[in-house]
Amino acid sequence: MAPVSYQDRIVVDPAIRSGKPCIKGTRITVYDILEYLAGGMSEDDILRDFQGIAREDVRAALEFAAARERKLAVSSAG
């Protein structure tokens, strides 16, 4: 399976959800997906509840969050 490229699936548009990172073509934010996963929902649960997104979108949200965390870790270490 090819790695997820979150840049292709996550967009930041000031006109959508006040510029929060969203799944492309939706108003579902990365934060929303992370909260659902943290609350115990599975990928399958999310996909069933939000039919406008794909499994790759959920994984892109995770990769986006991981990339942001790496960036914060590097900036705080320096």
Please name which of 75, 34, 39 lies closest in space to residue 57, comparing C-alpha atoms: 34
Residue 40 banded pLDDT, cuts 50, 70, 90: very high
Per-residue 3-state assignment (H helix, E strand, C coil) for the chain: CCCCCHHHCEECCCCCHHHCCEECCCCCEHHHHHHHHHCCCCHHHHHHHCCCCCHHHHHHHHHHHHHHHHHHHHHHHC
- Report the SS3 class of residue 45: helix
Q: What is the pLDDT of residues 46-56, one digit of tens each?
A: 999 998 999 99
> What is the model's pLDDT at position 5?
80
Q: How much is the mean pLDDT over the chain?
A: 91
Check whether domain 6-77 has CATH 1.10.10.10, yes or no: yes
pTM: 0.85
Residue 3 banded pLDDT, cuts 50, 70, 90: low
